[in-house]
């Protein structure tokens, strides 16, 4: 029965979650577990920043997507008309979506289907989101030819996905606590499709670090940033990114003023501890109000000051703090502030129900 298989996979993922694996290693092992149950010809898993819904790192199954197709996939992921984009599914809180369920007119306009999968001899795609407490921590694309994904397979993946989400959140949390400082600031100028036009010397180091994840990953991310800036209502696009060594970067993309060919400037900066606090708070599963309380505590404000600034009672502030302490595993404001500084600590444990 698929329920028994789903229980077994959830249990195994729960075991993996508390072994201290990084996100990429965790996803590689989870891919192996899931692909024992669901046959695919290609699968690619993404870690997603729950704040921006931008992909921060990726892991592939045994067979990798050919490098020349990765820029097309990046373009599709940030093209507003593309069906079943990860960000759109996350906004709808839809955990499983098959491309075959869409009307033919929508499939005809799919970049993924017509410019990537069909040229590779594939025609069936299933997308799965990893949602925990309403936040999206990752997603998977699973592709094969001929036989469509069945209702039972979709039910199996929907049952397993929350455990993968919780494990991913825990892995992100552990990595943020031990995040090393990154390389220096870099600026990259891309063409309309994200092709490299020019770059400062520091960009070479970031390129090497990202290409350790997979060859061509740096250029793929430049395509993502260019596509994001093109489709953003403000013309600005921001993403957090992790390289193969656990370094985090903040990327900012915006069009170059006066450029006649839609050139985009991408600024890459090492993510400072404070810039990663928002992601760390989300990784602890804090509510938006609890995150506001934490920001005030980190700023050194008293209970009375916090109550006045947030227009709530001091009693409510204390109630929120009790909840925060329980989730973060601390007992005082000082411990809370120390825990939220991304510096090396022992990996903590999170219960993941099988």
**Residue range(s) defining the domain that contains residue 246:** 186-274
**Span 134-145, pLDDT tens digits:** 899 999 999 999
Whether 53 and 149 map to the same domain: the answer is yes
* Adjacent-strand bridge partners of 199: 188
Give the whole-angstrom CA distance, residue 325 versus residue 323. 6
Q: Would 77 be classed as within a structural domain? A: yes
Q: Would 169 be classed as within a structural domain? A: yes
> Looking at per-residue confidence, does 267 or 183 come out higher?
267
Whether 56 and 137 map to the same domain: the answer is yes
- Reading the block at residue 145, the tokens are 């030819």
Whether 235 and 270 map to the same domain: the answer is yes
The dihedral sign for the CA sequence 218, 35, 75, 68: positive
- For residue 243, pLDDT over 90 is answered with no
* Average pLDDT of the segment spanning 153-157: 96
180 pLDDT band (50/70/90 cuts)?
A: low
**Span 20-65, pLDDT tens digits:** 888 888 999 999 999 999 999 999 999 999 988 888 888 888 888 8
Report the b/e string of 298-313 with b at 16+ CB within 10 A: beebebeebbeebebe
- For residue 330, pLDDT over 50 is answered with yes
Whether 195 and 270 map to the same domain: the answer is yes
Give the whole-angstrom CA distance, residue 69 versus residue 223. 12
Question: 13, 140 in Cβ contact below 8 A?
Answer: no
The CATH number given to whatever domain includes residue 315 is: 1.10.10.10
- Reading the block at residue 56, the tokens are 């921060």
Structurally, how many domains does the chain consist of? 3
260 pLDDT band (50/70/90 cuts)?
A: low
Helix H or strand E segment including 321: helix 314-328
Q: What's the mean per-residue pLDDT of the chain?
A: 86
Whether 231 and 317 map to the same domain: the answer is no
Whether 25 and 163 map to the same domain: the answer is yes
**Span 74-114, pLDDT tens digits:** 878 888 889 999 999 999 999 999 999 999 988 998 999 99
């Amino acid at each position: 029965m698929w329920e028994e298989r789903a229980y077994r996979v959830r249990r195994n993922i729960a075991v993996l979650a508390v072994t201290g694996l990084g996100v990429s290693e965790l996803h590689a092992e989870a891919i192996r577990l899931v692909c024992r149950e669901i046959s695919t010809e290609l699968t690619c898993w993404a870690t997603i920043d729950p704040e921006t819904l931008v992909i921060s790192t990726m892991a592939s199954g045994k067979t990798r997507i050919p490098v020349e197709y990765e820029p097309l996939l990046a373009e599709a992921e940030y093209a507003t008309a593309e069906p079943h984009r990860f960000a759109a599914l996350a906004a709808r809180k839809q955990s499983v979506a098959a491309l075959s369920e869409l009307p033919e007119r929508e499939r005809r306009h799919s970049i993924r289907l017509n410019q990537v999968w069909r040229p590779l001899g594939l025609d069936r795609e299933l997308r799965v989101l990893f949602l925990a407490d309403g936040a999206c921590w990752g997603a998977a694309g699973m592709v094969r030819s001929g036989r469509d994904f069945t209702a039972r397979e979709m039910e199996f993946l929907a049952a397993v996905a929350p455990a993968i989400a919780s494990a991913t959140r825990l892995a992100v949390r552990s990595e943020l606590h031990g995040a090393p400082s990154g390389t220096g600031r870099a600026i990259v100028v891309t063409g309309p499709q994200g092709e490299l036009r020019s770059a400062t010397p520091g960009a070479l180091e970031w390129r090497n670090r990202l290409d350790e994840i997979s060859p061509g990953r740096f250029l793929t991310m430049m395509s993502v940033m260019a596509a994001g800036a093109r489709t953003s209502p403000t013309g600005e696009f921001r993403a957090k990114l992790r390289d193969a060594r656990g370094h985090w970067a903040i990327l900012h993309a915006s069009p170059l003023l006066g450029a006649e060919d839609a050139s985009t400037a991408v600024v890459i900066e090492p993510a400072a501890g404070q810039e990663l606090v928002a992601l760390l708070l989300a990784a602890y599963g804090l509510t938006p109000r609890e995150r506001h309380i934490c920001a005030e505590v980190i700023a050194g404000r008293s209970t009375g000051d916090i109550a006045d600034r947030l227009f709530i009672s001091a009693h409510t502030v204390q109630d929120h703090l009790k909840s925060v302490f329980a989730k973060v595993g601390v007992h005082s404001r000082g411990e809370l502030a120390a825990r939220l500084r991304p510096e090396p600590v022992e990996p903590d444990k999170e219960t993941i129900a099988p």
